[in-house]
Amino acid sequence: MAKAKGERGPLVGAAVLRAPDLSALTVRRPIERGYLVNADVQRDIWSHTLGDSLRARPGDASLLLTEPVLNLASIQEATDQVWLPLFRVWSLEMLSVRTGSGGLRIPAAHGAGAQPGQRPGGH
């Protein structure tokens, strides 16, 4: 996602390439080093992806997201606020993932049995 000087809204996806001056854009990343650092930017990107690009209806779908193994509770809550109330996904499953030189390792899924709008364990 990028923000152009003088523009009201963010530029997402192909709209970035149509900007008149690419050198004047400020790039904003929602995730750094695997951690969500800007929930508003993440919301804008997923809104564009689901609505404009895929024309999907998240309320009819379940969602599986990956997160770092030692993800902070505040980041988990921010993720919940993006997906559950805004997109109204039917259910949200979170999977802790560790990556490294050995490839992708999946130690545990902690989403099994969660009800819509609730993280496993009542979080």
| pLDDT band at 77; cut points 50, 70, 90 | confident
| pLDDT band at 81; cut points 50, 70, 90 | confident
pLDDT for res 111? 46
Secondary structure of residue 47 in the 3-state scheme = helix
Percent of the chain with pLDDT over 70: 79
Does the pLDDT of residue 113 top 60, yes or no? no
Does the pLDDT of residue 6 top 80, yes or no? no
Domain boundaries, the chain: 1-56, 59-123
Does the pLDDT of residue 107 top 60, yes or no? no
pLDDT for res 14? 84
pLDDT for res 116? 46
H-state helical runs in 7-119: 14-17, 39-47, 73-81, 87
In order of 48, 52, 89, the CA distances from 56 in angstroms are 10, 9, 11
Does the pLDDT of residue 110 top 50, yes or no? no
Higher pLDDT, 12 or 63: 12
